[in-house]
């Protein structure tokens, strides 16, 4: 349980902090997302403390988990926020986030989203194309505003991660090609309602090696030096996020190792450092609680059919991602079999774990680990399934932070033809 410091067994029952998970299942039902406040706070403070003595801003990547309670918790801790949509902007503001700590990323910002962000004077737009820069300049002009901008540069660095979450290669849709960035920075002077304030890159997610981070950082610093010789003032250096977590056998760098490497690379340069961790802040702070509905034994496979499904947790179906699956109550009577842990959705791809050795009975509870990132935020209503409840554990207290969706809510906006 070393990878899940806020989840552990007490008297053969799995707990979040001081609360038994079977108590949560009885009170709130399943499937249910359960988060540990202590784990969230510790993860943020570890990043923040690693930058002690250096001007910096930790901007939580909201797409990893946009639940208001989690955003509010980070806002109270002083966090900034990395957003990718107007909806995420509204969530951050509702949660008490500081506009001057918001950076707006994403390849497809719409004019209305730009207006909303300009109206509250966010810290920076991370611009990903020349076309976007033109539109932002026009929108800012219509509002008599000056838009603070950093260009997201694609450094063409192999992040050595899953291809769907690799964002820093030249064939990816993200960012401005490295060999075009210098000329676009120079031409930005021609845009009267844009002010360049930063330099940005982000190469991917779930990175487990330091080398790609350092390679990208060095390329950005070389570009920074060239821009400064041309008289461009760059106030901050946004080095993105992407630090991985341990799901099974991965061995990602520790937060301190990661930050120390970035600090050493940047050296004595005076620019403020921004980073945008998401998964590393919330991934191991959450679990998905699910109940075994049926056990099905065939000549080839044993299936544990649970009440959580691919609509609740998309990562296994989408990325063939691995999540550890633990029994909530440990049995000492043997009976271990190798199970395919699957959901009730009508797709063969609806699985949560393959080939897991478990001793199970119908009605048992399971905890799917490391789902705090890209679990609830990617969930859907496929098969007309209401989204799960979410709870936050704080010591010996449990708080409902999102009610389970009702069927009435699912269909509230729909109309039947006359």
Find the CATH number of the domain harbouring 394: 2.40.37.10
pLDDT in the model for residue 69 = 98
Any known ligand binding at 247? no
Same domain, 234 and 139: yes
- Are 268 and 340 part of one and the same domain? no
| 198 in Cβ contact with 237 (< 8 Å) | yes
Does residue 144 carry a pLDDT above 80?
yes
pLDDT at 188: 85
How, if at all, do strands 147-154 and 194-200 pair? parallel
pLDDT tier for residue 347 given thresholds of 50, 70 and 90: very high
pLDDT confidence of 178, banded at 50, 70, 90? confident
Q: Is residue 278 marked as binding?
A: yes
One domain for residues 261 and 307: no
Predicted confidence (pLDDT) at residue 13 exceeds the cutoff of 90: yes
Select from 256, 277, 298 the last residue of a domain. 277
> 288 and 259, same structural domain?
no
pLDDT score at 169: 45
Q: What is the predicted pLDDT for the residue at 162?
A: 46
The answer to whether 330 and 12 have CB atoms below 8 angstroms apart is: yes
Whole-angstrom CA distances from 375 to 35, 93, 251, 334 are 12, 22, 21, 31
User: Domain total for the chain?
Assistant: 2
Residues 189-212: tens digit of each pLDDT? 889 999 999 999 888 878 888 988
Q: What is the pLDDT of residue 335?
A: 87
268, 317: one domain:
no
**What CA–CA distance (Å, rounded) separates 339 from 41?**
35
User: Residue 186: which pLDDT band, with cuts at 50, 70 and 90?
Assistant: confident
DSSP 244-279: ---SSS--PPPHHHHHHHHHHHHTT--SEEEE--SH
pLDDT (tens digit, 9 = 90+) per residue, 31-63? Answer: 999 999 999 999 999 999 999 999 999 999 999
Q: So which residues are the catalytic ones? A: 346
Stretch 16-22: mean pLDDT: 97
374 carries a ligand binding annotation: yes
Confirm whether residue 175 is marked as ligand binding.
Answer: no
Alpha helices in 102-155 (DSSP H): 111-119, 130-142
- Residue 109 in any domain: the answer is yes
Higher pLDDT, 97 or 242: 97
Structure tokens, 169 = 């290669």
**Among the listed ranges 88-92, 99-103, 238-242, 292-296, which one has the minimum average pLDDT value?**
238-242
Is 270 in the same domain as 295? no
Does 212 belong to an annotated binding site?
Answer: no
Per-residue pLDDT at 173 = 57
Q: What is the spatial distance between Cα 242 and Cα 168, in angstroms, rounded to a whole number?
A: 11
Residue 169, in any domain of the structure:
yes
Q: What percent of the chain has pLDDT over 70?
A: 95
Sign of the torsion formed by the C-alpha atoms of 61, 65, 68 and 72: negative
Tell me, yes or no, whether 250 and 137 share the same domain.
yes
The pLDDT of 106-130, averaged and rounded, is 96
The last residue of one of the domains, among 217, 250, 277, is 277
292 and 234 in a common domain: no
Predicted local confidence at residue 167, as pLDDT: 46
Q: What is the mean pLDDT of the chain?
A: 93
Average pLDDT over residues 124-137: 95
Rounded-to-integer distance, Cα 59 and Cα 158, Å: 23
d(CA 104, CA 92): 12
In a domain, 94, yes or no: no
User: Do the annotations mark residue 347 as ligand-binding?
Assistant: yes
Would you say residue 363 has pLDDT above 60?
yes
Tell me: do 375 and 296 sit in the same domain. Answer: yes
Question: Is 164's pLDDT higher than 80?
Answer: no
CB-based contacts of 412, cutoff 8 Å, min separation 6: none
> Using an 8 Å Cβ cutoff, are 244 and 208 in contact?
yes
413 among annotated binding-site residues: no
Residue 171 or residue 267, greater confidence: 267
The response to whether 242 counts as a known ligand-binding position is yes
Q: Are residues 158 and 242 in the same domain?
A: yes
Q: Is residue 99 part of a domain?
A: no
**Tell me, what CATH number does 119's domain have?**
3.20.20.10
* Whether residues 120 and 258 fall in one domain: yes
Per-residue pLDDT averaged across 211-238, rounded?
Answer: 90
Q: What is the extent of the structural domain holding 248?
A: 105-277
In this predicted structure, the answer to whether residue 166 has a pLDDT above a threshold of 50 is no
Query: Per the structure block, which two tokens stand in for 38?
Result: 């202590």
128-137 burial code (b ≥16 CB/10 A, e <16): bbeebbeebb
Does some domain include residue 58?
Answer: no
Question: Mean per-residue pLDDT for 168-175?
Answer: 55
Q: Output the pTM of the full model.
A: 0.94
Residue 102 has a pLDDT of 98
The verdict on residue 100 lying in a domain is no
pLDDT at 168: 40
pLDDT-above-90 percentage for the chain? 79
Q: Please give the Cα distance from 283 to 387 (Å, whole number).
A: 19
- Here the tokens at position 120 are 């509250």
Domain check: are 231 and 268 in the same one? yes
- Residue 393 is assigned to a structural domain of this protein: yes
- pLDDT of 165 reads 42
């Amino acid at each position: 349980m070393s990878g899940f410091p806020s989840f552990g067994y007490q008297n053969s029952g799995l707990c979040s902090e001081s609360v038994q998970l079977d108590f949560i299942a009885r009170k709130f039902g399943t499937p249910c997302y359960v988060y540990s406040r202590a784990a969230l706070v510790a993860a943020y403070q570890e990043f923040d403390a690693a930058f002690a003595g250096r001007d910096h801003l930790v901007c939580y990547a909201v797409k990893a988990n946009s639940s208001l309670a989690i955003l509010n918790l980070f806002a109270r801790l002083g966090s900034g926020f990395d957003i990718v949509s107007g909806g995420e902007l509204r969530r951050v503001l509702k949660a008490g986030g500081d506009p001057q700590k918001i950076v707006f990323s994403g390849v497809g910002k719409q004019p209305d989203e730009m207006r909303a962000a300009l109206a509250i004077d966010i810290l920076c737009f991370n611009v990903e194309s020349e076309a976007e820069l033109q539109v932002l300049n026009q929108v800012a002009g219509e509002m008599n505003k000056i838009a603070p901008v950093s260009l997201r540069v694609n450094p063409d660095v192999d992040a050595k991660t899953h291809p769907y979450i690799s964002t820093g290669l030249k064939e990816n849709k993200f960012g401005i090609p490295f060999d075009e960035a210098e000329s676009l920075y120079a031409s930005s002077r021609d845009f009267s309602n844009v002010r360049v304030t930063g330099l940005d890159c982000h190469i991917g997610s779930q990175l487990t090696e330091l080398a790609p981070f350092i390679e990208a950082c060095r390329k950005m610093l070389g570009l920074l030096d060239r821009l400064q010789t041309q008289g461009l003032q760059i106030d901050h250096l946004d080095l993105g996020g992407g630090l991985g977590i341990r799901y099974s056998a991965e061995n990602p760098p520790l937060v301190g190792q990661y930050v120390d490497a970035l600090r050493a690379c940047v050296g004595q340069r005076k620019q403020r450092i921004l980073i945008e961790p998401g998964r590393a802040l919330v991934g191991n702070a959450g679990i998905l609680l699910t109940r075994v509905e049926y056990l099905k034994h065939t000549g080839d496979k044993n299936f544990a059919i649970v009440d959580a499904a691919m609509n609740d947790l998309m990562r296994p179906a989408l990325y063939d991602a691995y999540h550890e699956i633990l029994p909530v109550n440990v049995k000492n009577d043997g009976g271990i079999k190798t199970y395919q842990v699957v959901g009730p959705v009508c797709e063969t791809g609806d699985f949560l774990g393959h080939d897991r050795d478990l001793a199970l009975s119908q009605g048992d509870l399971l905890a799917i680990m490391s789902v705090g990132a890209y679990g609830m935020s990617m969930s859907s209503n496929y098969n007309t399934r209401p989204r799960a409840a979410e709870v936050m554990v704080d010591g010996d207290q449990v708080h409902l932070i999102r009610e389970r969706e009702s069927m009435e809510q699912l269909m509230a906006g729909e109309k039947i033809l006359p």
